[in-house]
Amino acid sequence: MKTYENLSFWQEDIGAGVTRQPLTENIRADVCIIGAGFTGLSTAIHLKEKRPDLNVTVLEADFVGYGASGRNAGFSMRLFGVTMELTMLLHGKKKTKEADAYLVDAVEYLEEMIKRYDIDCNYERNGMMTVATNRKELKQLYKEIKAASELGLEGLTLLDGERTKQIVHSPTYLNARFDEYAALLHPAKLVNGLAKTAESLGVTIYEQSKVIDVHENDRIVLTEAGSVQAEKIVFATNAYSSFYPALDKKQIPIYTYIVLTEPLTEAQLKELRWEPRVGIEDARNFLHYYRLTHDNRILLGGSEALYYYDSPLHENRNERMKALLIEDFLDIFPQLKGIKFTHHWGGPISATLDLIPSIGRINDDIWYSIGCMGHGVSFTNYNGLTLAELILEERSKRTEFFIINRREIPLPPEPFRYMTVSAIRNYLRYEDKKGKKEKLR
């Protein structure tokens, strides 16, 4: 069978690859889901739990968890969009509070799912810190704390510099915000656990079954070697949605990259402290995100968010980004100078032009979920429950969420798309560079 190498440490760790047969015939299904990542598998599970009689088929172009679901950093978190301040600016206080409530529920619900389905994915619920490393980031952190207080959001605490460094020792830390609604996990183990759960409920998953077209009126999904005639269709493809014209203008693939160290020694761990084992991000626009893995490596990602002209989907490595991330790592943890970096990978996340997610429908029988903005571990799994409710025409607080059937800002075609995205990126990068140059006096 075909295998894939060097996609991510997580996938390598479990020996991920193709283990299921492709679709090679014309079949029928009640629901056909395109994409075997978190969104697609969670939707399939919840449909079968609610309606065991349904025939649910999942089509995957590569293998289960090939995309972001098997390559992300493994943060289950409440962040919606880019920042709380930006969400408030673009969408108002009411919707910002509604979004936070949805994401807090998502973090709690994913923990419940993992327990309910007995999925071993190295789950650790220790919260996360958002750290400030210069005056500009400190100002941003205070703004976010003030906004959270005004909205009455729970679970967020401001830490002074001394307490921040007691948790994790970096000479760059000034202050931090601690969020109790956050956890860490092994994403490839989670997505494979979801696939096994779905199959135990009677879901059929086809790998190596790339969708080449969808006939909307007839509800026929065509692959390279077969087809599915379905009553309902779900695009659970996120960043990999550009093959379908109706979704290509709604979202773009933005790339984020990661480096990973060798396992830390006991002496190195003692020097860093890292107790409790929190996830960490900083308060930049193009933030860094980092954490300890289950075998005590340090994973660091972010620093830039890249868009490639004409939206390619397989720019899985970038040597310039690897070098930049290693340089940033040693700025954060200079005491680890000389440590070896064993892995580097990346991949696309789904971004909308107004920088928030969207769940919508192309017609009465075709649904989609896009724009997780790189914060999709708990969010996309919770969206699976929401999509199941929408497909079955159930009503809940989730189906009333403002991102459901909202009007997205359409993206222009190339070259104007590249110019638009570059202008936004350049502004955000400029703001980050200003902050980096500021020195405390």
Over the stretch 125-170, which tens digit does the pLDDT of each residue have? 999 999 999 998 999 899 999 999 999 999 999 999 999 999 999 9
Predicted pLDDT at 122: 98
Three-state secondary-structure class, residue 40? helix
- 84 contacts 148 by C-beta, under 8 angstroms: yes
Note the maximum CA span of the chain.
Answer: 70
pLDDT at position 344 is 98
pLDDT digits (tens, 9 = 90+) for 423-437: 988 887 887 777 666
Say what the pLDDT of residue 436 is: 67
Q: How confident is the model at residue 86 (pLDDT cuts 50, 70, 90)?
A: confident
In angstroms, rounded to a whole number, what is the distance separating the alpha carbons of residues 346 and 255? 7
pLDDT at 354 over 60: yes
The DSSP line for 99-140 is HHHHHHHHHHHHHHHHHHTT--S--B---EEEEE-SHHHHHH
Each residue's pLDDT tens digit, 210-269: 999 999 999 999 999 999 999 999 999 999 999 999 999 999 999 999 999 999 999 999
Give yes or no for residue 3 having a pLDDT over 70: no
* Per-position b or e across 240-262, b if 16+ CB within 10 A of its CB: bbbbbeebbbbbbbbbbbbbbbe
pLDDT confidence bin for 284, thresholds 50/70/90: confident
Amino acid (1-letter code) at residue 217: N
pLDDT exceeds cutoff 60 at 181: yes
pTM: 0.96
Read off the DSSP letter of residue 1.
-
- pLDDT, tens digit (0-9, with 9 covering 90-100), for 285-326: 788 999 999 999 999 999 999 999 999 999 999 999 999 999
pLDDT at residue 83, as a whole number: 82
What is the structure's pLDDT at 435? Answer: 66
Percent of the chain past pLDDT 70, that is, above it, reads 98
Asked whether residue 2 carries a pLDDT value surpassing 50, the answer given is no
Which pLDDT does position 438 carry in this prediction?
A: 61
What pLDDT was estimated at residue 1? 43
The residue extents of the domains of the chain are 9-71+188-251+354-412
Amino acid 82: pLDDT = 80
User: For residue 187, what pLDDT band results from cuts at 50, 70 and 90?
Assistant: very high
CATH, domain range 9-71+188-251+354-412? 3.50.50.60
pLDDT of 395 higher than 70: yes
435 CB-near residues (< 8 Å, 6+ apart): 134, 135, 136, 137, 284
Report the alpha-carbon distance of residue 352 to residue 349 in Å, rounded: 10
Region 106-125 average pLDDT: 98
The mean pLDDT value of the chain amounts to 94
pLDDT digits (tens, 9 = 90+) for 249-263: 999 999 999 999 999
